[in-house]
A and B are shown apart, each in its own frame.
Chain A
Amino acid sequence: MSLSPNSAVSLDRKRQAVHIQLADLLLIQLSNYRWSWRGMVVTGVAAPLMTLVAVGLPAKQYGTDALAYVLVGSIVLSLMFQIMNQVAHNFSFMKAMGMLDYFATLPVYRFLLIIATVLAFLLMAVPSLLVTLVFGVLVLGVPLQISPLALVVIPLCALPLAGIGALIGLTAPSPQEVGPFTLLLTIVLLFLGPVVLPPVTLPDWLLALGHVSPSGYAASALRQAMVGPVTGRLWLDLAVLAGLAAAVLWAVGRKITWQPR
């Protein structure tokens, strides 16, 4: 038997630097592709593509503006499936399997665990976002005018959805209950306001409800950043998304306590 040469009795232990902790936690969370890739293909790619076809083809009669809603709405749908739902599943799994306890007994900051998880699922969502975008452009013929602001808009759209997912995962009594709830929430957020359906097809009361839905602000911001034109409304959308992201991620931080129960 060969024992470690490291001194076991030293009481002078230092945490790793923040960026090193973040890199390790990110790599650990990226390993989730091993279980999540099948779900990502089905819900993150196939579902938005089917929505593009099923909603986009009938919407052609309303013109290019309406098709832009369908295209961007499908990207928001992909974001909800890839980020909100997968983050919910992941936090629920970590809680149920004792992985949160594992991290709690390591010298790591909890806010880094949250950031690493959100970042990992955002990175894993990139392929499906690109597939949805390219397929949507090819099928619907929507002309893109991608603004450099998209680099800020996409993460800001993903953050509140990830935070909502994390809250669901941490609150759900078991991982089995996460799937039905997140699916229901995805459907509600998709049809609450002009996300995937053009505004001309919605009644006034549903348009009004869109103002309380994060998906409505995400769709509005993405539409301006990808299809144009960028207006003053974008700053309102980004402010709401940033505020919501800060609020839900703060709540997630409160919910993950290293000394729980």
Chain B
Amino acid sequence: MIAYNIQNLRKTYRRQTRPATDDITFQIPQGEIFGLLGDNGAGKTTLVRQMVNLLQPDSGRIMLFGKDIREEPDYVSGLVGYMPQSGAALNRLTVGEAVYFTAHLRGLSRSAARAERDRLLEVWRIEQVKDKWSGQLSGGQRRLMQLAVAMAGSPPVLVVDEPTNDLDPVNKKHVWDVLREWNTSYGTTVVLITHDAVEAEKAIQRVAIVRDGRFIALGTPAELRAGIALQVHVELTFAPGAQAELPAGFEPRQVAADTWSISIDQGEVPPFMAKLDYTDVVDIRLQSATLEDLYLHYVS
């Protein structure tokens, strides 16, 4: 089943000449984790705000599970949990209240909404701030609360705008783990905007790279990789204090005291390895192009 079917979506803001979204067409199957990558101002947030009916497109259609959201706006509010970029909206409620009221207004009974609140606070590891006003939280805690609010009532579609902003590495990993587990366990469709391409790669099944309001690439990370001349990163670590002896003709860059990284085309790997003097090499890592490399390739 198709969760989102978006056709020829176009939106130009008042007093702007360049469209924020320019003839975008794509589909998101139910149960997919779909990522949107792009520079600041590329049009990602404008696109998702249209997908949750906060912004009306100038032309084009957005179908959610087969229904046109312009004709049936209630369908979106009933089925889509949205986490915006800014986290100040619920500053005057406590964390527990924000999650409870959201779950209750999304149709759960009072007792089910209370249980949902407790479960989500546990999932996001923020039980200890349940009674704090969200305005008093750290940026990272507020982001986790926003995720709990978006998920309250278990909507079948989640649209999250930069879910890992302000989070430390441990919590970033936790966000991707939970989104993946939620997606696997319940078939929740997840649409996410992120700049964190390296981390997102662990969760995203298909990705669109957005530039100037258009999709310049769309596919699975593997498909996008196949479409470009691939580079491989070779990371070499030498014994402490040893002189790094590297084959001529390559441009290494030092990434740590005894560690050097070289980016080379895939076909050049065997000759590079053949020429390498292994005497003082204590570690070698080969890494194929990451989602971040793809992103940088397509936007450059």
Residues of A within 8 A of B (CB): 1-4, 6-11, 13-16, 20-21, 24, 27-28, 31-32, 34-35, 97-99, 101-102, 104-108, 258-261
- What residue in chain B is nearest A34 (Cβ atoms)? B92
Which 10 residue pairs spanning A and B have beta carbons closest together?
Answer: A8-B186, A13-B78, A98-B89, A6-B154, A8-B154, A97-B88, A99-B89, A102-B89, A107-B77, A105-B82
Cβ of A7 to closest chain B Cβ, rounded Å: 7
Cα(A97)–Cα(B88), bound, Å = 6
Q: Which of A9, A11, A32 is within 8 Å of B92, CB to CB?
A: A32
CA A3 to CA B152, docked complex, whole Å? 11
Output the least CB separation between B33 and chain A (Å): 13
Q: Using Cβ atoms and an 8 Å threshold, which residues of chain B touch A15?
A: 74, 78, 107
Please pick, from B84, B92, B177, the residue contacting A98 in the complex, using a CB distance under 8 A: B84
Q: Knowing A4-B119, A15-B74, A106-B77, say if A98 contacts B178 (CB, 8 Å).
A: no
What are 20 of the A-B contact pairs (CB < 8 Å)? A3-B186, A4-B116, A6-B116, A6-B154, A8-B186, A9-B156, A9-B188, A11-B79, A15-B74, A16-B105, A34-B92, A98-B88, A98-B89, A99-B90, A101-B84, A102-B89, A104-B53, A105-B53, A108-B105, A259-B73
**Do the beta carbons of A259 and B56 come within 8 Å of each other?**
yes
* Contact among B88, B105, B133, B186 for A34, CB-based, below 8 A: B133
Q: Given A13-B78, A105-B80, A106-B77, answer yes or no on A3-B123 (Cβ-Cβ < 8 Å).
A: yes
Contact A6 B104 (CB under 8 A): no
Question: Given A6-B116, A8-B156, A14-B107, are A106 and B92 also a contact pair (CB < 8 Å)?
Answer: no
- What residue in chain B is nearest A29 (Cβ atoms)? B92
A24: which of B104, B123, B178 is its contact (CB, 8 Å)? Answer: B104
A10's nearest neighbour on chain B, judged by CB, is B156
User: Which residues of the other chain, B, contact A4 by a CB distance below 8 angstroms?
Assistant: 116, 119-120, 151, 154
A32 to B91, CA, bound (A): 10
Q: How large is the interface on B (under 10, 10 to 19, 20 to 34, 35 or more residues)?
A: 35 or more
Q: B182 — which chain A residues lie within 8 A by C-beta?
A: 3, 8
Q: How far is the CB of B56 from chain A (nearest CB, A)?
A: 5
Chain B nearest Cβ from A107, distance in angstroms? 4
The answer to the question of B140 belonging to the interface, with a C-beta cut-off of 8 Å to chain A, is: no
In the bound complex, how far is the Cα of B80 from the Cα of A240, in angstroms?
43
CB contacts (< 8 Å) of B97 on chain A: these are 28, 31
Say yes or no for B65: interface residue by CB 8 A criterion.
Answer: yes
* Residues of A contacting B: mostly: loop
Nearest CB to that of B50 among chain A residues?
Answer: A259
Q: What residues of B have a CB within 8 angstroms of the CB of A1 in the complex?
A: 122-123, 177-178, 181
Q: Are A107 and B78 in contact (CB under 8 A)?
A: yes
- Min CB distance, B210 to chain A, in Å? 20
Q: Other CB < 8 Å A-B pairs besides A105-B53, A105-B81, 19 of them?
A: A6-B116, A9-B188, A13-B107, A15-B74, A15-B107, A16-B104, A20-B104, A24-B104, A28-B97, A28-B101, A34-B92, A97-B88, A104-B77, A105-B54, A107-B105, A258-B53, A259-B53, A259-B70, A260-B54
B252 located at the interface, meaning its Cβ lies under 8 Å from any Cβ of chain A in the complex? no
Is the C-beta of B233 less than 8 angstroms from some C-beta in chain A?
Answer: no
A3 to B183, CA, bound (A): 11
Contact with A along B11-31 (1 / 0, CB 8 A): 001000000000000000010
- Least Cβ–Cβ distance between A216 and chain B, in angstroms: 34
In the assembled complex, the CB of A33 is this many whole angstroms from the nearest CB of chain B, namely 10
In the complex where A1-B181, A97-B89 touch, is A107 in contact with B186 (Cβ < 8 A)? Answer: no
Q: State A16–B106 Cα separation when bound (angstroms).
A: 7
